[in-house]
Amino acid sequence: MPKNGTTFRATLGRARFTQTEQLGRIERATLLVLIGVMASVDVISWVRSADGAAMSPNQILGIITTFVFGLYACWPWVATLGLGAAVTASLFIQGGAGLILAGALAAFMVLRLGSVQLLSVYATGLLITIVVASSHVTPKSVSPSDIGGYLLIAAIAGILGFALRMGYERSHLLADQLAEQEAHEREAIAAERQWIAGELHDSIAHQLTVISLHTQLLDDEQMRDTSQEAIRSASRKALSDLRYIIRLAEDAPTGIEVPSGDLGEAIEEACAEFRGAGHATVVEGDPRDEGISRGVEIVLARVVRESATNIIKYSAPGEVRFVIDVQPTAVTMTITSPIVHGSAPRVSSSTGTGINRMAERVLGVSGEFSAGPVGDQWQVKTYLPLGESTTSREATRTAS
């Protein structure tokens, strides 16, 4: 939330008299109740003191002025102009100051509701009324002391109206800030959930795929020992990743970052898993080439791990090949594996989001991505430009 000074300036900015406002529901109800009470008092006073006589012009204008005040509930302009007409009429009909006091009190409503135009019209009308009342144009003039009193009353009423306007706008400002803060919190929660889901998919889903594959190979005596070791290793990695993700999802100390991944380690780990599943592996190019920036390496490691999950699930027996081509301005990595024709995948479970997540990561750092059949091979091709922008953007995405 902003500090008091900032909040005051923001409130003052919202309270500028750029347009005529309307009273709130509670304010409108309060005004109408007061108008009703005042009108009732005027009528009762006339009934008790009339003794059968007709209303005097003073009483008629008093009741009219009371009802004109009620128009501020919906039509501030009409109320101000009507009040000005009633006050002007009182100067000549009554022959005295009449309803100047009512006009002075109207400053409260004008400052609470009015625009610059309405405020200008009101101030001009009030000053003209006072000048006329203090001259000899009317049957009875107003003394300078009375004029000063009316102006003081108008000033006090205007200050109170402006203060109420400020308070009303401040409450609106705080409500807007609260709604904005709640929206940010909802977005943060949604982003955190999406991050957790992504991390679970990228790390734990891969290990569970390996476990599922080797569980089916336990009946093979030649593969049993290898499969048991692969299951133990994948289980340890899954538990370790799960504990790490849970720790990060909690209030982790400042400085803890999401594991960014190492391309060389990712390829070595994938090759070991492929060999355990019966695939031959070939790596062309150096995944530890110093020309590969850290940001590019992070993305490529993610692509390798997700591709490994898909290959273990869907690939036919045969060779899996990694080709890494490092150029001065870009890195291209191509992963090929045999396509299964006419048979179900070895691991049937799938979230269906792997290719989309790989594409999002690559395209998010201005790279190019493709995945699909090329002849009898399934090819995943990633092109990433080398530069500071790729490094900084992926570091930001990973840390967040």
Q: Residue 322: pLDDT above 90?
A: yes
Higher pLDDT, 108 or 351: 108
Rounded CA gap, 391 and 329, in Å? 13
* pTM for the predicted model, two decimal places: 0.43
Q: Is pLDDT at 379 greater than 90 in this prediction?
A: yes
253 phi and psi angles, rounded to 5 deg:
-60, 150
pLDDT at 172: 77
Q: Are 354 and 306 in contact (CB under 8 A)?
A: yes
Give the whole-number percent of the chain exceeding pLDDT 70. Answer: 72
**Half-sphere exposure for 343 (CA within 13 Å, toward CB):** 12
Mean pLDDT of the chain: 75
Q: How far apart are alpha carbons 261 and 244 in whole angstroms?
A: 14
> Is the CA virtual torsion 34, 37, 39, 42 positive or negative?
negative
pLDDT at 354 over 70: yes
Long-range Cβ contacts of 375-378 (<8 Å, 24+ apart): 376/338, 376/339, 376/341, 377/336, 377/337, 377/338, 377/339, 378/311, 378/314, 378/315, 378/336, 378/337, 378/338, 378/339
Residue 391's pLDDT is 45
Q: Whole-angstrom Cα distance, residue 26 to residue 164?
A: 13
* Residue scoring higher pLDDT (195 or 5): 195
pLDDT of residue 252: 47
Q: What is the pLDDT of residues 200-236, one digit of tens each?
A: 666 676 677 777 777 877 777 777 777 787 787 777 7
State residue 393's pLDDT score.
47
Query: HSE on the CB side for 233, CA within 13 Å?
Result: 14
**pLDDT tens per residue across span 236-278:** 767 766 766 666 566 544 433 444 458 888 899 889 888 888 8
Mean predicted confidence (pLDDT) in 348-371: 77
- Give helix 205-215 / helix 221-249 axis angle, nearest 10°: 160
Please give the pLDDT value at position 12. 52
Q: Report which of residues 108 and 191 the model is more confident about.
A: 108
Q: Residue 396: pLDDT band by 50, 70, 90 thresholds?
A: very low
Task: Tell me which of 2 and 237 has the higher pLDDT.
Answer: 237
Q: State mean pLDDT over 104-113.
A: 82
The beta strands (E) that lie in the chain are given as 280-284, 319-326, 330-338, 368-374, 377-385
Confidence of residue 41 (pLDDT cuts 50, 70, 90): confident
What are the tens digits of pLDDT across the range 142-197?
677 777 887 888 889 888 888 888 887 787 778 887 888 788 778 766 766 776 67
Dump pLDDT digits (tens) for 133-156: 777 666 666 677 777 887 888 889
Domain annotation for the chain: domains and CATH numbers: 4-180 (no CATH), 190-399 (3.30.565.10)
Mean pLDDT is lowest, of 123-127, 254-258, 349-353, for 254-258
